[in-house]
Amino acid sequence: MVSRKLLALSAGAALAVSLTACGSSPGSTSNAQGQPVVTIMVGGLDKQIYLPAMLAQQLGYYQQQGLEVHLEDEPAGVNAENDMIAGKIDGVVGFYDHNIDLQGKGKATEAVVQMLQVPGEVELCRSDVAGQIKSPADWKGRSLGVTDIGSSTDFLTRYLAVRNGVPVDQIHESGVQAGNTFIAAMQHKNIDCGMTTEPTVSALLNSGQAKILLDTRTADGARAALGGVYPASSLYMSTDYVTKHADIVQKLANAYVETMHWISTHTPEEIADKMPADYYKGVGKAAYVAALKSEKGIYTTDGLMPADGPQTVLNVLSAFNPDVKGHTIDLAKTYTNDFAAKANQTLK
């Protein structure tokens, strides 16, 4: 597994720190200036679907809110949620669907800022088998790549199989993360198809190694594949943390909502210029910008949850997930718009 990359973001400058910085209990620490120290794990910092987490730092919005934010890189969202439940981190920038899954397991968490209104995920198939696989209905017996078992790409892959008449026990899933490991899995023919995001999508398409089977980078694409708008990347935290540290949560919401406003009012070129150069070194800056142009509509403009989104996610998970199917899920407890709404008011 790819090792975690920890970035410490302070009010004065970005500092490198070790993973042991997470040892203290969430919400309990302050820096030398008395500012709250917050640790957030991101399900792949260099993925464009999680771009707002780093962009907020690059724009100085955490610092403006008087926060020292540590961003940890974890390629698989399921590992991030486990660390949050274990109390090792304060929050996760990952897919909203984890909150429904966790409630089904008896855990209380909630999304406090919604960053994506659609998944931004693309199902790619190797070019040499693309002619044989016209839809997920052709997945029987196929090897399919996901970020990791229990991740949101796993959830979506299982749903697409079931929705197209293929039982989940007739597909073979492998956790191949994203970027170079995903590309290698295709090159070595370890997977026939796989779900991933930009900039990995552009790298495989530009090299001719893969073709698109399904594309959820637009609302129409999400509706066609999933039956509705599927809210994805969000900042989610344990309900206990949100209750005990509402002031910190509000500051985070302020930073992220201002970031979403900034994205909506700037060009893909301007956005790319703010990102660390190593985020696009694998595909090149031009391809990174082109990818942003193709999917800029995935981002919310205000950090608010789309009204019809949670029900779509519940419908998807109820189709195959034993922790959700047949369980009573209170969607109102899986997210809140309170913090984002207040943040929007301060920006007017």
Query: Phi and psi of 114, rounded to 5°?
Result: -100, 120
**Alpha helix locations (H) across 30-189?**
51-58, 61-64, 77-85, 97-104, 152-163, 180-187
How many Å apart are CA 66 and CA 144, to the nearest integer? 44
Q: What is the pLDDT of residue 20?
A: 32
* Domains of the chain with bracketed CATH: 5-118+231-347 (3.40.190.10), 122-215 (3.40.190.10)
Q: Are the beta carbons of 259 and 52 closer than 8 angstroms?
A: yes
Amino acid at 21: A
Along the 348 residues of the chain, how does pLDDT read in single tens digits? 333 334 434 333 333 333 333 334 455 688 888 899 999 999 899 999 999 999 999 999 999 999 999 999 987 667 788 899 999 999 999 999 999 999 999 999 999 999 999 999 999 999 999 999 999 999 999 999 999 999 999 999 999 999 999 999 999 999 999 999 999 999 999 999 999 999 999 999 999 999 999 999 998 999 999 999 999 999 999 999 999 999 999 999 999 999 999 999 999 999 999 999 999 887 899 999 999 999 999 999 999 999 999 999 999 999 999 999 999 999 999 999 999 999 999 987
In the chain, % of residues over pLDDT 90: 84
| Helix-helix angle 246-264:51-58, to 10 degrees | 90
Quick one: pLDDT at residue 76? 65
How confident is the model at residue 1, as a pLDDT?
A: 34
Helix (H) or strand (E) holding 196: strand 193-196
Q: What is the 3-state secondary structure (H, E, C) of 6-52?
A: EEEECCCCEEECCHHHHCCCCCCCECCCCCEEEEEEECCCCCHHHHH
Report how far residue 102's alpha carbon sits from residue 60's, in angstroms, rounded to the nearest whole number: 32
Separation in Å, CA 324 to CA 97, 103, 173, 239, 256: 11, 8, 20, 19, 29
Give the span between the Cα atoms of 34 and 36, in whole angstroms. Answer: 7
Q: How do residues 40-86 score in pLDDT, each as one tens digit?
A: 999 899 999 999 999 999 999 999 999 999 999 987 667 788 899 99
